[in-house]
C-alpha cells in the first residue's frame, strides 16, 4: 500500500472515532434530559438500572472510539514513515481523549442526577 492509502485509512479512522464521540455527547444529553424531567419520580431501582445501562453504553462507546483513535495514530505514523516528502505530526496521545471525556461526563452526569434527586433544603 502507498502512503496515501495509509493516510486515507488514518483519516477514516479519525472520522469514525469523532462520530462515536459525537454519539457520546448525544447520549449524555439524553441522560441529562431524562434526569431533569423524570429524576425525582424514579425509584431507586430505576435510577440504578438507568445509571448502569448509561455507564455501560458510555464506557463501551468510549472504548470503541479509543481503539479507532489508536489505530488511526498507528496508521498515520506508518504513512508518514513511508513517504519522506510528507511533513506533519501525529497526535500520539489521542487515545486518552475519549477516556478523559467519558470519566468527566460520567461524574458530571451522576452528580447531576444526584442533585435532582436530593435537592438542598431551602
Q: For residue range 16-35, list pLDDT tens digits in order.
A: 998 998 998 899 999 999 88
Nearest residue to 71 via CA among 23, 17, 26: 17
Domain count, the chain: 1
Average pLDDT (66-74) is 88
pLDDT at 53: 92
- State pTM to two decimals: 0.76
Q: Which three cell numbers, joined as nine digits, stand for 36?
A: 431533569
Residue 113 has pLDDT above 70, yes or no: yes
75: in domain: yes
- Residue 32 to residue 36: CA distance in whole angstroms: 6
Per the domain annotation, does 11 fall within a domain? yes
Domain assignment present for residue 122? The answer is: no
Residue 101: domain span = 3-117
The answer to the question of residue 104 being in a domain is yes
The residue assigned the cell 489505530 is 71
Q: Is residue 25 part of a domain?
A: yes
Q: How many whole angstroms separate alpha carbon 82 and alpha carbon 84?
A: 6
83-108: per-residue pLDDT in tens?
777 666 666 666 677 778 888 888 89
Helix axes 44-82, 3-38, angle to 10 degrees: 170
Tell me how far apart the alpha carbons of residues 55 and 98 are, in angstroms, rounded to a whole number.
14
Amino acid at each position: 500500500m502507498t502512503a496515501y492509502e495509509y493516510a486515507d485509512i488514518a483519516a477514516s479512522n479519525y472520522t469514525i472515532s469523532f462520530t462515536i464521540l459525537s454519539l457520546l455527547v448525544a447520549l449524555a444529553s439524553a441522560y441529562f434530559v431524562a434526569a431533569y424531567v423524570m429524576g425525582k419520580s424514579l425509584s431507586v431501582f430505576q435510577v440504578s438500572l438507568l445509571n448502569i445501562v448509561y455507564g455501560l453504553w458510555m464506557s463501551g462507546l468510549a472504548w470503541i472510539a479509543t481503539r479507532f483513535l489508536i489505530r488511526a495514530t498507528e496508521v498515520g505514523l506508518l504513512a508518514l514513515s513511508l513517504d519522506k516528502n510528507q511533513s506533519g505530526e501525529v497526535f500520539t496521545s489521542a487515545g486518552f481523549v475519549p477516556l478523559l471525556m467519558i470519566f468527566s461526563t460520567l461524574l458530571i452526569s451522576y452528580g447531576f442526577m444526584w442533585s435532582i434527586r436530593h435537592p438542598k433544603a431551602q
